[in-house]
Amino acid sequence: MTLLPQSFRALVIGSSGTIGSAFMELLQNNPSCSMAIGIHRHSEYPIDYQDPSSIESSAKALALQAPFHLIINTIGLLHSPKWMPEKKLDDLNAEQLGELMKINAIGPALTIRYFSKLLDPKNSVMVNLSAKVGSIEDNRLGGWYSYRASKAALNMFIKTAAIELRRTKPNTALIALHPGTVNSALSQPFRGQQIGRPALEAASDMFNVITRLSKEDSGSFLSYSGEKLPW
């Protein structure tokens, strides 16, 4: 049985990004979504993973508008103006490793800690965008050390938190969701414009997966097609 009620309230974290803004458009046009709030670094209730204290303060500010039936976290980092994903061991550096861990793992983990308190205990879903390249079992090409490791760490946070939430919020599904290649700034250096698909299409694919989730799916790593991915 789906966890989203006929009239649901949604929160999109990272709503200024390509996928986040697509989710906002999708939800705002969905007649079943009675409320869709988006937050980002410059929103009314700002959240900035460079400032971990903003995660707790943003969640506390939004508590008055809780409970939410759906929370989607779209924040993630692959590259920056200073560096690109590593191709070999000799490219590894502490700054890049630390930055990707902060944005892709530590920030989302603290977001789960504080924002899971805003979920409706009756029925709710919390989605964190992960990436298939974070799968240890599926890693056949190597490279991209920091990104792979940070997404693998995120997956472990999600899996572990899902086990705890089964006890405290048994009707909640906490999942990791792979969006596939999307036309975005993140994928642009990797032929994303050629091989990716529009963000709204990607958001629609992922939302279709979300609407089919049951509480038994909590702790899963899923693709936008609904396929279960290996950890």
Domains in the chain and their CATH numbers? 8-223 (3.40.50.720)
Whether residue 101 is predicted with pLDDT greater than 50 in this model: the reply is yes
* 64-87 pLDDT tens trace: 999 999 999 999 999 888 899 999
**The model's pTM:** 0.94
Average pLDDT over the chain, rounded to whole? 94
Edge-to-edge order in the sheet of strand 172-178? 33-39, 8-13, 70-73, 124-129, 172-178, 221-223
Look at residue 196 in the predicted model and tell me its pLDDT.
74
Q: What's the CA gap between 201 and 94, in Å, rounded? A: 36
How far apart are alpha carbons 118 and 9 in whole angstroms? 11
CA 58 to centroid of chain Cα atoms: 17
187, pLDDT greater than 50: no
Tell the burial category of 231 from Cβ atoms under 10 Å away from its Cβ (0-12, 13-18, 19+). Answer: middle
pLDDT of residue 192: 42
Task: Map tokens 């191709």 to a residue.
Answer: 87
* Alpha carbons 21 and 43: distance in angstroms, whole number: 13
pLDDT at 106 over 80: yes
